[in-house]
């Protein structure tokens, strides 16, 4: 079955993860359970999951970190809960190559970037966000909104068949680079999706 919109995309990802779970791979169910424990709620708000799905944990991968990790150290922060690789970001990057000639893919990306742009405002309205008062969550959420906004601007230019100049690409890339690793031990993998889109545009311009 072909992917037709962003909801269909997420449904396909859910189906894939369910199949993996049935084979004994429980990374998704464990991830969801940890998110619920982290929030202290029975269900996870869509804005929080949207943010978590495009973040990657980098716990312990910085050699300059002085804290020693062992079995006695509790792992209960947002950094410890998010996945080491964002399946959503990987999947979206795989679609980028089809942007020049596939309107359905353009539609999926446009919807996704709009969702990211609006996600911070939605997350701010959740009880969990207002209880947590987390600088990590606030920074990541604000940055995801900015990443989504950049993506939306790019897609608008593509829809209008307006050229995206090299200067614009540089400016966008500079902003993206600053946001990707702004939070210690977290990679905002949504950045990689926009970066891949910019790379595809640059390649298309040289053809």
* Mean pLDDT confidence for 21-25: 52
pLDDT (0 to 100) of residue 63: 43
Give tens-digit pLDDT for 62-109.
544 444 444 443 445 788 888 888 989 999 999 999 998 899 999 999
Nearest Cα neighbor of 45 from 55, 35, 30 is: 35
Q: Which two tokens stand for residue 150?
A: 């950049």
Name the E strands within 39-123.
Answer: 55-57
Q: What are phi and psi of 162, to 5 degrees?
A: -95, 140
Higher pLDDT: 121 or 133? It is 121
Are 168 and 150 a contacting pair, CB within 8 Å? no
pLDDT (0 to 100) of residue 67: 45
Higher pLDDT: 91 or 134? It is 91
Angle between helices 103-124 and 6-22 (to 10 degrees): 80
Q: Indicate the domain borders of the chain.
A: 45-206
Give tens-digit pLDDT for 140-191.
999 999 999 999 999 999 999 899 998 999 999 999 999 999 999 999 999 9
Dist. CA 79–CA 95, nearest whole Å: 27
Residue 194 has pLDDT above 90, yes or no: yes
For residue 173, count other CB atoms closer than 10 A to its CB: 16
pTM for the full predicted model: 0.79
Residue 29 has pLDDT above 70, yes or no: no
Dist. CA 120–CA 147, nearest whole Å: 11
Average pLDDT, the chain: 81
Higher pLDDT: 61 or 80? It is 80
Residues above pLDDT 70, as percent of the chain: 72
Q: What are the contacts of 85-90 at 24+ separation with CB within 8 A?
A: 85/56, 85/189, 86/53, 86/54, 86/55, 86/56, 86/189, 86/190, 87/13, 87/17, 87/53, 88/10, 88/13, 88/53, 88/54, 88/189, 89/54, 89/56, 89/189, 89/190, 89/192, 89/193
pLDDT (0 to 100) of residue 18: 61
H-helix or E-strand containing 168?
helix 166-180
């Amino acid at each position: 079955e072909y992917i037709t919109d962003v909801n269909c995309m997420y449904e396909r990802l859910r189906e894939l993860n369910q199949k993996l779970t049935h084979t004994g791979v429980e990374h998704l169910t464990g991830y969801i359970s940890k998110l619920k424990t982290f929030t202290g709620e029975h269900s996870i708000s869509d804005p929080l999951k949207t943010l978590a799905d495009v973040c990657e944990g980098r716990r312990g991968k910085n050699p300059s970190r002085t804290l020693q990790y062992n079995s006695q150290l509790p792992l209960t922060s947002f950094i410890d809960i998010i996945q080491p690789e964002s399946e959503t970001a990987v999947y979206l990057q795989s679609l980028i190559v089809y942007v020049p000639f596939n309107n359905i893919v353009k539609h999926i990306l446009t919807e996704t970037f709009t969702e990211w742009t609006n996600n911070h405002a939605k997350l701010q309205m959740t009880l969990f966000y207002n209880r947590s008062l987390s600088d990590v969550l606030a920074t990541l959420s604000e940055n995801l909104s900015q990443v989504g906004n950049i993506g939306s601007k790019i897609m608008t230019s593509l829809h209008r068949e307006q050229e995206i100049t090299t200067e614009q690409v540089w400016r966008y890339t500079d902003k993206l680079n600053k946001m990707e690793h702004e939070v210690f031990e977290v990679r905002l993998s949504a950045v990689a999706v926009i970066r891949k889109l910019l790379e595809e545009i640059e390649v298309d311009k040289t053809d």
